[in-house]
Every structure is written in C-alpha cells, then in structure tokens.
Amino acid sequence: MTSFLLRRLGQILPTLVILSFMIFGLQQLMPGDPALILAGEERGDPAVIAQIRAELHLDQPIWSQYLYWLGNVLTGDFGWSWRIRMPVSELILQKLPVTAQLAVMAFIIAVAIGVPLGILSATHRDRPTDWIANAIALFGISTPNFWLGIMMILLFSVQLGWLPPSGYVPLWEDPVQSLATTIMPAFVLGNSIAAVLMRHTRAAMLTALSQDYVRTARAKGLTEKVVVWKHALRNALIPVVTLGTIELGRLLAGAVLTEQIFTIPGFGKLVVDAVFNRDYPVVQGVVLTTALIFVALSLVADLLYMAINPRLRAA
C-alpha cells in the first residue's frame, strides 16, 4: 500500500506542475490590463499604474511572475480578489463548504437511485422492471437541469409551499432550514448523475453476470442474492467507482446553472462572477482548487479499487 501511494504521488506531482503552468499561462492570454482594472478612476495617472504594476510584480518577466505566484500558492496564498478586496483563500473557504454540502447531498441521492436501479435492471433484463428503470434513466439524462429546477420551484415552493424557492442557510446555523434550502438543488443535480450511474451499473452488471465465475457460483448452489451482491456486484463496481469520483469532482467544481437558479452562493457563482469581472486571482484560485479536488478524488478512486478487488493490491 505504501509503495503504491508513493508511486501515485510521484505521478501526481508532475501533473500538478503542468496544471500550474496552464493555469498561470491562461491568465496571461486573457484580455485586459490588471493594473488598469485596479486603478479604477485613476487609470489615467501613469504613476499609479506603475505603482500597481510594481506591487503585483507585473513589471517583471513572465517566468519571474510565475515563480512568485507559485511560491505564494505553495504557502496557501492565492492572492487578493481585485473586486472584493479580500484574500482569495478566504473566499474559497467561504464558498467551498456551500458547494461541498450541495455536492455530497446530490451524490448521495444519485448513488441511492442510480446503483440500485442499475442492479435491478441488469438482474431483470428485458422485463418490466428493466423497462421502467431505463425509462427513469432516459428521463434523467434528457431533462435539462434548469427546466427541472424551475418546475420543482413552481411545484414545491409556489404551489405547495413546502420548501423555500431559493437562498441558502449554513448547516451549522440551522440544519433543518439548511436541508430545506438545498434538497431541491441537490435533487436536480443528483437526478442526471443517477441516470448515468444507472446505465453504467447496468452495463457493468450485465458483463459481470455473464462471466464464468458467476456461472461457477451458481453451479455450486449459491443463492441468487449471494451471486449478485457478493460476486457480480463487487467486480462490476470498478467502472462505477471511476464514474462516481469523476461526477463528484464535477459537483465539487460547482454547478453553475443550478446555483444560479436557486441563488446558492457556491463555487459556481463565485467563478462566474470572477470571470465577468476579470477578477483573475479568484479565477486562478478556483481553477487550481478544482484541479486539486480532481487529483485527490483520483487517488481515492485508486484506493477504492484495491478495497473492492484484492487482486489489484498485488499489481
């Protein structure tokens, strides 16, 4: 296990270095002069522009700017937001828990719906249960999130008055109200992921159920429940885990449309506002944090592979 982790970390570090090059380099291609943006009404004063350039190290070569930025990032300093005038790391720490709560809730909903439906569909192939499960998956895949979100607001907020239509209450302030404000956006996000998980689970289970070891288990007289849940599902979970970690990473990166519809102050809204206002330090900080999340989830997926399939531990 230790040697595996060391190998994976050795592969991850060059990836992070390349990502840092790309994140910093793409900012240089963005239009607009940061010094002019920060100068505001004093943008016509060359002395003010020169002072801002010196403070931001914009008067130095690109490689020097990159090394200065990377050094700060390694200490957890992502710079200051040009628009809000506060550290980017504080903004990320404020917004990430909001999106994390929404993402975890959506992921739980997706797994609770998608995986059992996929198993049922595979074990009842070409039967009514299979048709119903595929119809549910088709609905989830083909329904746009913004439309489903609006319809849920009209039904549960406007017509029934059960849930608030928008807004967000932190979980640590009022858990009940927090769940009430996030359950609809979480279901909207989880709905589409559940459909994809269902299709992948079904395909993986059908492949597993056709393997020789499953036929051998049945020939030994094992019950169908043991064959499905202990033998087939365990091997079918590998592609499902891969897809699940990718989808969880996407959720943690921010669901822009859903957060906009339900007025959730999360990662998605933060990065959209930063792009529109050319707040480059915030964009860099969010993109780098998102990349770190995906890298971490990739490592978690590898560890889950070994927990699911012991044969991979010797690889």
Taking the C-alpha atoms of residue 154 and residue 147, their distance in angstroms, rounded to an integer, is 11
Taking the C-alpha atoms of residue 197 and residue 121, their distance in angstroms, rounded to an integer, is 12
197-221, pLDDT tens digit by residue?
A: 888 888 888 888 888 887 888 888 8
Taking the C-alpha atoms of residue 91 and residue 76, their distance in angstroms, rounded to an integer, is 13
Q: Which residues pair with 80 in a beta bridge?
A: 87
Q: What is the dihedral of CA 162, 109, 268, 95, to 10 degrees?
A: 80
Q: Are residues 144 and 282 in the same domain?
A: yes
pLDDT band with cut points at 50, 70 and 90 for residue 181 = confident
The pLDDT, as a whole number, for residue 69 is 78
Greatest C-alpha distance within the chain: 86
The pLDDT, as a whole number, for residue 38 is 63
Average pLDDT, the chain: 80
| Residue 80 placed within a domain | no
**Across 65-73, average pLDDT:** 80
The CATH code of the domain that includes 271 is 1.10.3720.10
Return the DSSP state at 157.
I
Note down the domain range covering 64: 2-74
Q: Are residues 179 and 237 in the same domain?
A: yes
The pLDDT, as a whole number, for residue 39 is 61
3-state DSSP assignment of residue 160: coil
Instruction: Give me the amino acid identity at 64.
Output: S
The pLDDT, as a whole number, for residue 248 is 81
Domain boundary pick from 74, 99, 133? 74
Q: Are residues 227 and 171 in the same domain?
A: yes
Q: Are residues 296 and 148 in the same domain?
A: yes
Q: Are residues 206 and 137 in the same domain?
A: yes
Query: How many domains, in total, are found in the chain?
Result: 2
| Residue 81 placed within a domain | no
Q: Are residues 135 and 281 in the same domain?
A: yes
Residue 36 has pLDDT above 70, yes or no: no
* Better-scored residue on pLDDT, 214 or 39: 214
Q: Are residues 205 and 300 in the same domain?
A: yes
* Better-scored residue on pLDDT, 128 or 51: 128
